[in-house]
């Protein structure tokens, strides 16, 4: 069942790269007591994700934070090493936390997984943006076509703040 506005995020673990190596972070670590703009992409470095979705997030990051967003998070079904390299290559001002959902457990738990096996990518996350306040979904923008960024970009979420 797909998560809906008003639902609480399920308990899940992500992996993030820190100065001490790969560390686990829970949904509470990321979302409890905070207003978080969460962006999900099917895959790090893939064409649409890298060239369209990421720029839409970082071009709007300051404005989102000016409107009360405490943190920006990017999640993908990739490992923490790939997500760390992608952060290095896209997040020049260190504005976001990059969350590795390596096995797609979070994507499955919220009902937003997709099968991209036909493209050789296996299980992935659907493309979406979500505003989460203290663990509760306040806004949810699911992209109908994973190869486009029409409703899930940073500009759309900024307009909803």
Domains annotated on the chain, with CATH = 22-159 (3.40.30.10)
The neighbour count for residue 88, using CB atoms within 10 Å, is 12
Query: Which helix (H) or strand (E) element contains residue 137?
Result: strand 136-142
What is this structure's pTM? 0.95
Structure token pair of residue 21: 């190596």
The neighbour count for residue 8, using CB atoms within 10 Å, is 13
pLDDT tens, N- to C-terminus, the chain (161 residues): 899 999 999 999 999 999 999 999 999 999 999 999 999 999 888 878 788 888 999 999 999 999 999 999 999 999 999 999 999 999 989 999 999 999 999 999 999 999 888 877 778 899 999 999 999 999 999 999 888 899 999 999 999 99
Q: Is 49 a catalytic residue?
A: yes
Q: Which of 37, 49, 61, 73 is catalytic?
A: 49
Helix (H, G, I), strand (E, B) or coil at 150: coil
Distance (Å, rounded) from C-alpha 108 to C-alpha 111?
Answer: 5
- Asked whether the beta carbons of 53 and 80 are under 8 A apart, the reply is no
- Asked whether the beta carbons of 127 and 41 are under 8 A apart, the reply is yes
Pairing status of strand 113-115 against strand 128-133: unpaired
CA torsion through residues 54, 105, 21, 134, sign: positive
Task: For Cα atoms 111, 13, 84, give the angle at the middle one, nearest 5 degrees.
Answer: 105
């Amino acid at each position: 069942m797909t998560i809906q506005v008003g639902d609480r995020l399920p308990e899940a673990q992500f992996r993030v790269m820190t100065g001490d190596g790969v560390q686990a972070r829970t949904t509470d670590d990321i979302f409890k007591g905070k207003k978080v703009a969460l962006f999900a992409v099917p895959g790090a470095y893939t064409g649409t994700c890298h060239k369209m979705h990421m720029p839409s997030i970082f071009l709007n990051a300051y404005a989102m934070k000016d409107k009360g967003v405490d943190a920006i998070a990017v999640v993908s079904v990739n490992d923490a090493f790939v997500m760390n390299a992608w952060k290095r290559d896209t997040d020049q001002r260190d504005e976001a936390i990059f969350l590795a959902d390596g096995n797609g457990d979070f994507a499955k738990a919220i009902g937003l997984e997709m099968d991209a096996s036909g493209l050789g990518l296996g299980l992935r996350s659907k493309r979406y943006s979500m505003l989460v306040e203290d663990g509760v979904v306040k806004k949810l923008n699911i992209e109908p076509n994973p190869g486009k960024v029409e409703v899930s970009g940073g500009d759309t979420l900024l307009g909803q703040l």
